Structure formats: structure tokens, C-alpha cells
């Protein structure tokens, strides 16, 4: 049975499904002082985005019922400290096909439960007991049956102590066929519920104490095994996992779990109503990176969910829902990089085998012959441009797309919708692209080729691996020849007339993550990156250079800080061994994100690069990429560094615990004094001094790594007999092997 808050409109609810295409939903609403909050209204008054175990063993979320209702984005953003959660919802899977839960109430008003069939699922709800029998005696009992009659849900609720009068509970089936139960409540009330697909099992039969015990034990069990960070960066891991796991939804026709861009990012259908799901391209790949912090299974499902959106011609679209999508355009090709990282982390070769055909066809789509050129190489010079296939445009369910220019659609393909760089380009009708060879696209195409070569080689496709390696070399040469501006020491966009764009964006640093520049060029790029009149500062990285005329707009990609550029630039700095700067970028990104999370329990879409104030959607799925950078300061695995542990810019004492990589469970502590590593519960290494370890190989008889340090560092390896073996390594880069 799938169980979770899978209906994007109902954070305060549950969906239970025993088979794709059918199941049940129920959700809670609240009323107080003449105001009502239900569905998305509750999203805007969330008090705590609590734990949500990926196996559905425990979940908790609470809402601030003292905030004004129905204000949407205009709901006041108030610090959570000192405020009370008016409604707290907890639930836990109880066996294979049932769930138990509790509502804790801290306000005077009304709680309403609505039992319904989400999406296009159908059936009938009814009361179990006669209308003339007192609900107050044994709670409320409901039964729902799917249209095919093969699934039955038994739902039971009662209030703590059943001290409510008979006429104080209203139970009915409304005109839409939904079950409605109304509980007048006061502060201190507890409402218990059970939902079972197996047999009738009431909350009263299980008992209040049993439900409370189950919830407490499930919370404790999850807390003991979950990934966590303690110390200065406390909540770093939970800010990722809580946010992403609570955003889970499913494709109702297949039962596939996935992470939308956020609970508000389910597009409307062309004929009205809301689509059943909406999957965004590069958002989904980044979501898988975040999910891998704790749940490789959810990460795998999310990767498959986005790969399944591929059109017949190979395009993995900008976005796609069950009933519509964007066959005319794609989004930045980061998929192979994420899939490869997933494999290096988990060893899941079957995912590579399943994903490669999709990624291979997507790569071919960009360069497919079209007219006298290629689909996204309109001037046939070996470099790519953002574009839009006009002949494939269809009826769009998103109203804002109906009036969009072709230039705007090409900009949407970039994922950086209104980046000032695109103002330098014209739309070319014949080519159906912008007349701008873009740094971001070409760097990511190079990264895509490099990672596809590695994937193909890993699954024994030597010919394809050789082909992609050649493509990587060719495009890297082109980027270096045509997009490097030696006067300013940066890669820049190039117009088809040969002129170079004067505009710089955070994405102009993407060649670093693709390994394109020489070491000398990478060093020159740092001059621009660290220039506080351009990109560096307390709040980094602005999407557009601080000296761009449009920077002060701070509108979307005109200066605001976004997680994807920060993450990709961070990875690029690490690739070039620029660990100090990478660590500073990670720390400033973490501080930006954690302040919003700790103070307001928000997971913002973007941030003002002048003030650090969060903006955009309150719960955006790629927001925690900032926190992922912090996790990767402890430990990471990449195609170019292998298993990497440590940083040259450590935070104050912080410890990452219980993270799974490369078939081991790791705990890593960072501080200014050094590094401490525990593997599978056993102490492994402690250092005196700050160091980065690359290409870490843990063998039965030895520990090997490449070290990078600014000062002499002592490595102490714990041997199997409990003794310690120490060596001192000079500053710089060195290869070390220590016997165990």
C-alpha cells in the first residue's frame, strides 16, 4: 500500500492506494473566528515542516491557526519562535495496509474531515453505523469502496475521552459524494484516527494509548536512523529531507512517486481543473540529488519519473503533465550528471541500464538535423543555442504561455527565464533558436557528453563511450576557441555576427563544472567571481552581475540568487581543487537557506542578493540544493574526485551522521582542528589539521586517498586491533596509503 500526503492540494491529509489507478483520500480543514482554511490555504500557515520518513513509518506537520486565513502569498511571514502550532497532524504506517494518526488541537473552533477520491479515482463513501446511533459513544466510522468494488477503506475517528455531546459531531455525505465529519474543538483536544484497507479496525479498538505509543516509537525509531547534522549546522540535513519528503506526490495512473517543483506547481488542464501531475525537467534531476541524501529509493523513482516524460522524438520536456506538456522545448541537460552521481553513490547499475537509452536519445535530440543546420545549432558552428520548435507547439494549459513570444519560449528552455543575457539575442525564424551561442548550454552539453561517456563505459557500451568522449573534446575546444574573452578573463555568450556579449551571469561560470578551462583560465575566472562589484559578497551568487543595468530589478533571474547556479558553480570550484572558495560559497549558501528555514520554516525559491530576503514560492523543491552544498562539504562522490571527504573552509564544530555512500554508513565531523571519520559505526580516521581527501579507497588492509592541505596535517588511522597509525603530510597535494 502506498500511503502519504500525495495529493499536492492536501498537505493536511493522506492518500492510500493499493493499486495504480485507485485509492482513497481524506484531508482536514479548520475554522475559527468565522474564517476557514482548507487545501492550499493550510500551505500558507505551516508552522513546522516536520519529519517525514521515506518509508511512511512516521510523519508530522503543524499549522499556525492564529495567522489570518485565505491570504495566500500575502499571508504574513512571521518568525516561528514563541508561536504556538494550533493544529499538529501526526501519522504512522501500521503494518502493510493501515495507518494510525492523531490531531493535536491548540485553538477553539472546528476541525473538519473530508473523505474523497482524488484525481480521477472514483467510488462511494458511507457511514458504517446508523444515523440514529450516538457517534459520541464510539467515534465516527466511515467506509469507502472503489468503483470496481475491489478496494475498501475503513476509516474511524474519535476525540480523546469522547466527552463530546451527541449533537456536537456532524457526519454526512455531501452532494459531491464526499464524506464530511465536523468536530467542534477546544484547546487540548486530541482526535485519533485509523485507516485500513484490510478490515474494519476502529481507533477505539486500537486504543488511544496504543496509537500514542505507536507514534512515539515510530518517531524515535526514525530519529535514530535518519541522516542528521549536529552542532553549528544543526538542521542542515533535516531541512533537506523534511522539505523533499513532504513534497512527494504520485502519478495516479501508475503509482509512480515523484517530487513536483512544489505543491503549487501542478498546472491546470486546458479544459479547466488541475492536471493530475506536473513534472519539470531540470528541477526533477536536482530533486533526485537532494533525495539521495537519505532515500536512494525515492531518488531513483524521481529520476525514472522525469525520464518517463520523454517524447517520441527524444525530447525530455521543460515540463509535462498527464494531459499536456511542452513538446516544443526542453531544459538544461543535467540529467546524465545526476544519474551518474546516483550510480557512484549507490552502485545501482540497473538504473544506468534503464536511464541510458533515455539520456542517449535526449542528447541526440539537441543535435538532430533540422533544415540546413541542427535543432539547437542553428548556425551550424558546433555550438548550441536555446530555442523552440514552433511546429510542435500545441494547446497550452498554462495561460501565460498562450501569449508568449518565440523568444520567450526559447528563454524558458534555458531555465533562466528572464536572464539579462537573453536580451542580447534576437529570435531567428528559420533556425527557431536565439542567435546566441550560450555559455550555460554549451558547458552543460559538454558535461552531458562527459557523463554519458562514463555511463556508457560502465554498462559496457564501448563504442558509444568513445563517441561521447570525442564529442566532449570537440565541444570543449569550441567553447575555448569561440566563447573565451581574454580581455576580461571569462567565458561569454557570442552573437552569430561574432560579437561577444558584455553581460555576465552566474551561469557564465558553468565551464568549470564541465572541466573546460585550463588551470590558468580557471584562476582568471576567480578574479570575476570574487569581485564584490560583480558576484561576490555576503549574499551569493547573484544570477546577474551586480554591475548589470538590470540587476536592481531583482526580478526572477535578474539578480536574485538561485540554487542551481550556486550548486553547479560549487561543483566546478571543487573540480578544480579550489576548495577554500568552494567552502565559502557553500557556507554562505547554507547560511542563506538555514536562516529562512530556522526562523520561518520556509524553503524558498530564490533570494534577494542585496538583502538575503527569501522570495518566490515558499516551498520550492530545489531550494534545499543550498543545504546539499553543505552536506557535500562533509562528504561527496563525483566523477572526477571519486569519494571526497572534508573541506578547507570548515564550519564551527558540526557532525554529519548516518549518511550512506559507496556501500558504507558514514559519520563525518568537521572543525577548525581537523576531520574525524567513522565508518559503519567504527572509528576510522582522525586528523590534526584541516584537509580534503579525494579518491578515498577503503580496503580491508589499507586506507588510500589524495590529500590537499594548506598546512602540515597529521592523519591518524584506527587499525583493526584498536591501535592508531599516524603519518604527517606536508602542505599541498599528495597520494597517501596507510595500512590498517
Segment 24-45, tens digit of pLDDT:
999 999 999 999 999 999 999 9
The three grid cell numbers given for residue 10, joined into one nine-digit string: 492536501
In which band, very low, low, confident or very high, does the pLDDT at 717 lie, cut at 50, 70 and 90? very high
Mean pLDDT for the stretch of residues 555-582: 98
For 695: left if phi > 0, alpha if psi spans -120 to 50, otherwise beta; the answer is: left
- The enclosing domain of 400 has a CATH number of 1.50.10.10
pTM of the model: 0.97
In a domain? residue 330? yes
Q: Report yes or no on 712 lying in a domain.
A: yes
Which DSSP letter does residue 295 get?
Answer: -
Q: Domain for residue 161, yes or no?
A: yes
pLDDT at 130 over 70: no
How far apart (Å, rounded) are the C-alpha atoms in residues 42 and 44? 5
Alpha-carbon distance 302 to 325, whole Å?
18
Question: What is the arithmetic mean of pLDDT over 546-574?
Answer: 97
> Counting beta carbons within 10 angstroms of the beta carbon of residue 627, is it exposed (0 to 12), middle (13 to 18) or buried (19 or more)?
buried
- Looking at the fold, whether 668 and 555 belong to one and the same domain comes out as no
Gyration radius (Cα) of the chain, Å:
27
Q: How confident is the model at residue 156 (pLDDT cuts 50, 70, 90)?
A: very high
Mean per-residue pLDDT, 303-310: 98
How far apart, in whole angstroms, are the C-alpha atoms of residue 441 and residue 661?
A: 30
Same structural domain for residues 658 and 610?
no
Note whether 568 and 705 are same-domain residues. Answer: no
Angle between helices 625-634 and 579-600 (to 10 degrees): 130
What gap in Å lies between CA 498 and CA 268, rounded to an integer?
42
Predicted local confidence at residue 195, as pLDDT: 95
Domain limit, last residue, from 179, 209, 228: 228
How many whole angstroms separate alpha carbon 469 and alpha carbon 441? 18
Asked whether residue 265 falls in the same domain as residue 412, the answer is yes
Q: Is residue 123 part of a domain?
A: yes
Q: Evaluate whether residue 46 is within a structural domain.
A: yes
Of 631, 657, 672, the residue at which a domain comes to its end is 631
Residues present in the chain in total: 740
Per-residue pLDDT tens digits for 354-373: 999 999 999 999 999 999 99
Residue 190 backbone phi and psi in degrees, to 5: -125, 130
Q: How many domains does the chain have?
A: 3
* % the chain with pLDDT above 70: 96
Q: Are residues 674 and 612 in the same domain?
A: no
Q: What is the mean pLDDT of residues 528-547?
A: 98
Q: Determine the 3-state secondary structure of 191 from DSSP.
A: strand
Segments forming the whole domain that contains residue 107 = 2-228
Residue 166 is predicted with a pLDDT of: 40
User: What is the arithmetic mean of pLDDT over 484-498?
Assistant: 98
Give the C-alpha distances (Å, rounded to integers) separating 596 from 456, 600, 736: 41, 5, 41
| Residue 494: all three cell numbers together | 557570442
Reported confidence tier of residue 205, pLDDT bands at 50, 70, 90: low
* One domain, residues 32 and 135: yes
Strand 46-52 to 490-491 pairing: unpaired
Does residue 152 contact residue 145 with C-beta atoms inside 8 Å? Answer: yes
Residue of 205 and 73 predicted with greater confidence: 73
Is the per-residue pLDDT at 437 higher than 50? yes
Least-confidence region, from 29-43, 191-205, 256-270, 291-305: 191-205
- Region 628-653: mean pLDDT is 98
Could you tell me which residues come within 8 angstroms of residue 712 by beta carbon, excluding any fewer than 6 positions away? 689, 728, 729, 730, 731
* Sign of the dihedral defined by the CA atoms of residues 680, 685, 686, 692, in that order: negative
Mean pLDDT of 90-102: 95
Q: Residue 211: how many CA atoms within 13 Å on its side-chain side?
A: 28
CA pair distance 718, 418, nearest whole angstrom = 54
Do 81 and 177 belong to one domain? yes
Band of residue 56 on the pLDDT scale cut at 50, 70, 90: very high
Residue 234 lies in a domain: no
Alpha-carbon dihedral 679, 684, 689, 694, rounded to 10 degrees: -60
- Please tell me the predicted confidence (pLDDT) of residue 198: 76
Q: Work out the mean pLDDT of the chain and round it to a whole number.
A: 94
- Using 50, 70 and 90 to split pLDDT, how confident is the model at 165? very low
Please report whether residue 243 resides in a domain.
Answer: no
Alpha-carbon distance of 161 to 410, in angstroms, equals 61
**What is the greatest pairwise CA distance in the chain?**
86
- Beta carbons of 686 and 702 less than 8 angstroms apart: no
What's CA 218's distance to the chain center, in Å? 25
pLDDT at 138: 63
Task: Give the model's pLDDT for residue 397.
Answer: 75
**Residue 75 domain-assigned (yes or no):** yes
C-alpha cell read off for 298: 525515492
Confidence of residue 400 (pLDDT cuts 50, 70, 90): confident
Which of 631, 658, 676 is the C-terminal boundary of a domain?
631
pLDDT tens for each residue of 213-266: 999 999 999 999 999 999 999 999 999 999 999 999 999 999 999 999 999 999
Q: What is the pLDDT of residues 446-479, one digit of tens each?
A: 999 999 999 999 999 999 999 999 999 999 999 9
214 and 156 inside one domain: yes
Checking if the pLDDT of 435 tops 80, the result is yes
pLDDT value of residue 164: 43
- The helix (run of H) or strand (run of E) holding residue 123 is strand 123-127
279 and 422 housed in the same domain: yes
Same domain? For 403 and 508 the reply is yes
In CATH, what number is assigned to the domain containing residue 85?
Answer: 2.70.98.110
Same domain, 586 and 649: no
Taking residues 322-348, report their average pLDDT.
97
Rounded average pLDDT over 597-614: 97
Task: Please tell me whether residues 605 and 681 are part of one structural domain.
Answer: no
How many Cβ atoms are within 10 Å of 704's Cβ, its own excluded?
14
Amino acid at each position: 500500500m502506498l500511503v502519504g500526503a500525495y495529493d499536492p492540494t492536501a498537505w493536511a491529509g493522506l492518500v492510500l492506494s493499493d493499486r495504480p489507478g485507485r485509492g482513497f483520500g481524506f484531508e482536514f480543514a479548520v475554522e475559527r473566528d468565522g474564517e476557514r482554511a482548507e487545501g492550499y490555504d493550510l500551505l500558507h500557515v505551516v508552522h513546522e515542516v516536520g519529519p517525514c520518513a521515506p518509508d511512511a513509518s512516521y510523519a508530522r506537520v503543524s499549522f499556525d491557526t492564529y495567522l489570518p486565513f485565505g491570504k495566500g502569498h500575502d499571508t504574513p511571514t512571521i518568525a516561528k519562535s514563541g508561536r504556538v502550532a494550533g493544529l499538529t497532524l501526526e501519522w504512522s504506517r501500521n503494518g502493510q495496509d493501515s495507518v494510525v494518526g492523531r490531531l493535536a488541537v491548540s485553538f477553539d473552533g472546528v476541525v473538519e474531515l473530508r473523505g474523497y477520491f482524488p484525481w480521477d479515482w472514483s467510488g462511494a463513501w458511507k457511514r458504517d453505523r446508523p444515523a440514529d446511533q450516538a457517534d459520541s459513544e464510539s467515534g465516527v466510522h466511515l467506509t469507502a469502496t472503489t468503483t470496481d468494488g475491489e478496494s475498501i477503506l475503513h476509516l474511524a475517528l474519535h476525540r480523546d475521552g469522547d466527552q463530546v455531546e451527541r449533537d456536537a459531531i456532524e457526519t454526512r455525505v455531501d452532494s459531491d459524494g464526499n464524506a464530511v465529519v465536523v468536530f467542534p474543538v477546544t484547546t487540548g483536544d486530541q482526535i485519533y484516527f485509523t485507516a485500513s484497507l484490510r478490515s474494519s479496525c476502529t481507533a477505539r479498538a486500537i486504543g488511544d494509548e496504543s496509537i500514542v505509543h505507536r507514534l512515539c516509537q515510530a518517531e524515535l525509531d526514525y530519529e535514530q536512523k535518519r541522516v542528521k547534522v549536529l552542532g553549528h549546522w544543526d538542521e542542515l540535513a533535516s531541512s533537506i529531507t523534511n522539505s523533499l519528503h513532504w513534497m512527494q506526490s504520485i502519478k495516479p495512473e501508475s503509482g509512480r512517486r515523484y517530487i513536483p517543483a512544489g505543491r503549487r506547481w501542478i498546472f491546470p488542464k486546458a479544459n479547466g481543473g488541475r492536471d493530475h501531475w506536473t513534472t519539470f525537467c531540470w528541477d526533477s534531476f536536482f530533486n533526485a540529488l537532494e533525495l539521495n541524501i537519505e532515500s536512494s529509493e525515492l531518488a531513483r523513482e524521481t529520476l525514472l519519473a522525469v525520464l518517463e516524460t520523454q517524447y517520441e522524438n527524444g525530447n525530455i520536456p521543460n515540463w509535462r503533465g498527464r494531459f499536456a506538456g511542452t513538446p516544443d522545448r526542453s531544459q538544461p541537460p543535467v540529467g546524465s550528471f545526476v544519474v551518474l552521481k546516483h550510480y557512484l553513490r549507490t552502485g545501482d547499475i540497473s538504473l544506468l541500464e534503464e536511464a541510458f537509452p533515455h539520456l542517449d536519445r535526449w542528447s541526440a535530440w539537441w543535435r538532430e538535423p533540422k533544415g540546413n543546420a541542427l535543432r539547437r545549432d542553428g548556425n551550424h558552428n558546433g555550438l548550441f543555442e536555446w530555442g523552440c520548435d514552433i511546429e510542435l507547439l500545441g494547446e497550452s494549459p498554462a495561460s501565460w504561455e498562450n501569449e508568449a513570444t518565440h523568444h520567450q519560449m526559447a528563454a524558458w528552455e534555458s531555465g533562466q527565464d528572464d536572464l539579462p543575457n537573453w536580451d542580447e539575442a534576437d529570435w531567428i525564424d528559420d533556425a527557431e533558436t536565439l542567435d546566441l551561442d550560450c555559455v550555460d548550454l554549451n558547458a552543460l552539453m559538454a558535461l552531458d557528453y562527459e557523463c554519458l561517456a562514463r555511463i556508457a563505459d560502465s554498462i559496457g557500451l564501448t563504442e558509444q563511450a568513445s563517441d561521447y568522449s570525442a564529442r566532449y573534446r570537440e565541444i570543449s575546444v569550441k567553447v575555448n576557441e569561440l566563447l573565451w574573452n581574454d580581455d576580461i578573463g571569462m567565458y561569454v555568450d557570442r552573437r552569430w555576427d561574432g560579437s561577444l556579449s558584455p553581460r555576465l551571469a552566474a551561469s557564465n561560470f558553468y565551464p568549470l563544472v564541465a572541466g573546460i578551462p585550463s588551470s590558468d583560465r580557471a584562476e582568471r575566472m576567480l578574479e570575476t567571481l570574487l569581485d564584490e562589484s560583480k558576484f561576490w559578497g555576503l549574499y551569493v551568487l547573484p544570477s546577474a552581475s551586480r554591475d548589470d543595468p538590470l540587476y536592481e530589478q531583482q526580478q526572477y533571474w535578474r539578480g536574485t540568487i538561485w540554487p542551481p547556479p550556486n550548486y553547479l558553480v560549487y561543483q566546478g570550484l571543487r573540480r578544480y581543487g579550489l576548495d577554500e572558495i568552494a567552502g565559502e560559497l557553500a557556507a554562505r549558501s547554507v547560511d542563506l537557506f538555514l536562516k529562512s528555514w530556522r526562523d520561518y520554516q520556509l524553503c524558498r525559491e530564490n533570494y534577494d542578493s542585496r538583502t538575503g530576503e527569501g522570495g518566490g514560492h515558499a516551498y520550492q523543491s530545489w531550494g534545499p540544493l543550498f543545504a546539499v552544498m553543505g552536506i557535500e562539504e562533509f562528504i561527496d562522490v563525483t566523477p572526477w574526485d571519486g569519494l571526497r571527504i572534508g573541506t578547507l573552509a570548515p564550519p564551527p564544530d558540526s557532525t554529519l551522521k548516518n549518511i550512506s555512500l559507496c556501500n558504507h554508513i558514514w559519520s563525518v565531523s568537521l572543525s577548525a582542528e581537523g576531520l574525524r571519520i567513522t565508518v559503519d559505526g567504527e572509528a576510522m580516521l582522525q586528523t590534526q589539521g584541516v584537509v580534503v581527501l579525494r579518491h578515498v579507497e577503503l580496503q580491508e588492509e589499507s586506507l588510500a586517498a589524495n590529500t590537499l592541505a594548506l598546512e602540515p596535517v597529521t592523519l591518524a588511522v584506527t587499525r583493526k586491533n584498536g591501535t592508531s597509525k599516524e603519518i604527517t603530510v606536508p602542505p599541498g597535494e599528495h597520494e597517501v596509503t596507510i595500512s590498517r
